[in-house]
Amino acid sequence: MKRLFTLSLSLLFCSIVAFGQGTAGEDAKQEYRYLVDMPSSGILEKGSVGISTDILPDGIVIGRMEVGVFQDISFGISYGGANIIGSGSPKWYRYPGVNLRFRILGESLTYPSLTFGFDSQGKGEFYEATNRFGIKSPGFFVSGSKNFQFLGYLSFSSEVNYSLEGKDGDNFLNLMVGAEKTIGKSVSAVLEYDFAFNDNAARLYGKGNGYLNLGVRWSVGEGLTLGFDLRDLLNNKKWSAGSADRAVRIEYVRPI
């Protein structure tokens, strides 16, 4: 998986000059699949591949590759670790992450789109003692999204998920809500709130405030989208000093 992780990063940077479609702004041709951490109902088009990299504090880097396998079905794998950027030995995650999406209902004028999926990739450091990430993986989820025309496009998303990371004794059905607003042809702002019902009882990792995250996405060229995130604006996590932390996302999508 370490070799696959390195290959994914190489493909991301080497394929920038190739043809593809961006995911931010009014001219986006591909659906976004995540706001910040929250899965949306978006799915890659059949025959498309997406490669993304999240760069977070503590030298954490997570690479992800997704493929639109069939119409309304996508599959992906991810891998990463802590202290990859910095000095000393990297702390690689124990297992690669797997994600699968299946669209149950397409969006109409009346109904939102609905997607069922599974994603085992969490964020932050992986804690062996409790077999969980600092930010738990979504696990099984159902996500709905609805788009409106308002000074460009405005979309709202909600998601119910059940993470498999329950060894800490704090697991429950969880809820996330979020929104995206396009700003011109190539920029979008995203906002999400994770109620963290599955991370508010043991008080080992979360304080019970939930996670409020804000991000900006910019389609800088065909297929290439850059993102900047402010995470944990409510200072919920106990395993990191300070309040909001900063993260960068790089994404590339293109037809196979």
Residue 2: predicted pLDDT: 54
Of the candidates 243, 242, 234, 158, the one whose C-alpha atom is nearest the C-alpha of residue 200 is 234
Residue 174: predicted pLDDT: 96
Cβ-contact 154, 147 below 8 angstroms = yes
How does pLDDT run across 3-55, given as a tens digit for each residue? 544 545 454 444 444 444 356 777 777 788 999 999 999 999 999 999 999 99
Exposure pattern of 1-17 as b/e (b: 16+ CB <10 Å)? beeebeebeeebeebee
Q: How many CA atoms lie within 13 A of 199 on its CB side?
A: 30
CATH number of the structural domain 2-255: 2.40.160.40
How much of the chain exceeds pLDDT 90, in percent?
59
Q: What is the 3-state secondary structure (H, E, C) of 124-178?
A: EEEECCCCEEEECCCEEEEEEEEEEECCCEEEEEEEEEECCCCCCCCCCCEEEEE
The structural domains of the chain, with segments of one domain joined by +, span 2-255
Q: Could you list the beta-strand ranges (E) of the chain.
A: 48-56, 60-70, 73-82, 91-92, 97-105, 113-119, 123-127, 132-135, 139-149, 153-162, 174-183, 187-194, 211-221, 224-231, 245-255
Neighbours of 85 (CB within 10 A): 13
- What token pair was written down for 223? 């297929």
Cβ-contact 134, 124 below 8 angstroms = yes
Residue 27: predicted pLDDT: 77
Per-residue pLDDT of the chain (256 residues; tens, 9 = 90+): 555 445 454 544 444 444 443 567 777 777 889 999 999 999 999 999 999 999 999 899 999 999 998 999 999 999 999 999 988 889 999 999 999 999 999 888 888 999 999 999 999 989 888 889 999 999 999 999 999 988 889 999 999 999 999 888 788 899 999 999 999 988 999 999 999 998 877 666 778 889 999 999 998 888 899 999 999 999 888 776 667 899 999 999 988 8
Residue 50: predicted pLDDT: 93
pTM of the model: 0.87
Cα-based angle 188, 144, 250 (whole degrees, multiple of 5): 35
Residue 242: predicted pLDDT: 65
